[in-house]
Structure 1
């Protein structure tokens, strides 16, 4: 029986690449998305690759929809081997500019959504004494970046959440945890940022505007090697899932590794710290 994998956020970009590559690697793929009317791109990619996936509705902000998807998989297979938390959203605003409801939304999608999905699968993985929970984080989960304070705060929260669980759940129940930390993904970064800004009130004429314009310009003008394709990030992610010793954290490119090096040099995979924390607090 093939291992199965539940992937969130598969209607676009990286989510599509993850679903395709997981299917190519032999997984039974449950590809989920909030809005099933947006599944056409996924269906096309799967067909082009000659692979299949079962597509389910799942909104990471809706506990009931998460439970429905998990219950469906358990009824069909009796187990969930891998949860791949991919759903997320960027957000570019300063602390002074950001309305409280938007800050709540960013944290809900990027952090609470992950926790909801983990909570839903954890009883089944714990009973099986096996499983792998993988979350697409970001270099922004290790290194704060201009205008991304709320996005980075959510990703920092995700990293602390995953690291904390790994310190006692892995040694106790055999469930592995991995956070994947890409840099930029080549999906027209500036256009996506401008779309998000436009949907949340547009550019604000204040003292931050020239700094924001400089930030956007610097991202657009980055040399080759900074931005990766979705396929490249998906490949690193699948390699971590298929590893006999999955890393707690992994960067996806030389650029992202170099950006984080001051924080990661002594323990690039995070496994040394995981084991040290387990020994310090549980022995």
Structure 2
């Protein structure tokens, strides 16, 4: 797989940045993208420090024009995209009653429709090549609903269904593989940004939900000991990229596996369900 072309979104910080660096170190041609190009310097400096090469460009998953422009640029240079990693996303802690419709639309747009847009643009090229792998960075929140995260979980549940459905017919017909990576907590700016978002959208409101939200936030401290580093999860993602027969879904830690066991214990990789659906709908895998 070394030398293959990888396009990854959301690489200005955290998991996206470390995944881009890890794959570049492993010999892949990495096209790292981000919405805010002014944030590119942290990634570029890290690449110099680690003595790896990668390309950094603009891609806003909410803007189809930037996706088209970026994909066209990669294809002009490389003639192919072997791996697409849909990593860009944004957390959101706010319940349904408190969230504005603008906030709700933004959560769904970034975390779900962003995945759909990028897949829509890249998939035709993989289909024509009859080769490729689309990796969607999901969450344990895509399998298990959690307090004050219903909107974020809804978006991640959508990613799960979207990816699983594609795998039932695109994989057997065109040899394009799909994987959902499902981390638990990651010690990155992602978590910090969630709590910044709570404060910026009014903080903890004085309403019936206040004691419940305070309890939720306090419980996060006890859970934080189970959080992984972005580097640890990036190593797992790199392993998925290199796998000849990757799973449909994979949790990234023992804690994440335990947290989701009621949903996953009979079919941990998701491939049994996909195979069964494919057979039922006449799609041979």
Check whether TM > 0.5: yes
CA contact (8 A) 2:15 2:188 kept: no
| 5+ residue gaps, structure 1 | none
- Show the 5 A alignment for 1:225-264: 226-264=226-264
| 5+ residue gaps, structure 2 | none
TM-score, scaled to structure 2: 0.96
CA contact (8 A) 2:6 2:85 kept: yes
- Show the 5 A alignment for 1:114-263: 114-187=115-188, 191-222=192-223, 224=225, 226-263=226-263
Partner Cα separation in structure 2 for residue 190 and residue 124 of structure 1: 35
Counterpart residue number, 1:45: 46
Per the TM alignment, residue 282 of structure 1 is displaced from its structure 2 partner at its CA by 1.5
Per the TM alignment, residue 240 of structure 1 is displaced from its structure 2 partner at its CA by 1.1
SS at match of 1:56: strand
CA contact (8 A) 1:163 1:248 kept: yes
Counterpart residue number, 2:22: 21
Per the TM alignment, residue 199 of structure 1 is displaced from its structure 2 partner at its CA by 2.1
Change (3 A) 1:247 1:18: same
CA contact (8 A) 2:14 2:189 kept: no
**Number of equivalences:** 282
Counterpart residue number, 1:270: 270
CA deviation vs aligned residue, 1:193-226 (integer Å, no higher than 9, x gap) = 32011222222111111111111111112263x2
Partner Cα separation in structure 1 for residue 27 and residue 129 of structure 2: 21
CA deviation vs aligned residue, 1:38-74 (integer Å, no higher than 9, x gap) = 1111112111211011001000000000000000011
Per the TM alignment, residue 190 of structure 1 is displaced from its structure 2 partner at its CA by 6.0
- Show the 5 A alignment for 1:86-125: 86-125=87-126
**Range with bigger deviation, 199-208 or 134-143:** 199-208
Per the TM alignment, residue 238 of structure 1 is displaced from its structure 2 partner at its CA by 1.0
Change (3 A) 1:210 1:190: farther
SS at match of 1:201: coil
2:32 matches 1:31:
yes
Partner Cα separation in structure 2 for residue 107 and residue 81 of structure 1: 27
Change (3 A) 1:160 1:190: closer
CA contact (8 A) 2:247 2:270 kept: yes
CA contact (8 A) 2:91 2:190 kept: no
| RMSD (Å), alpha carbons | 1.2
CA contact (8 A) 1:190 1:220 kept: no
CA contact (8 A) 1:35 1:57 kept: yes
Q: Where does structure 1 differ by over 6 angstroms across 4 or more consecutive aligned residues?
A: none
Change (3 A) 1:154 1:223: closer
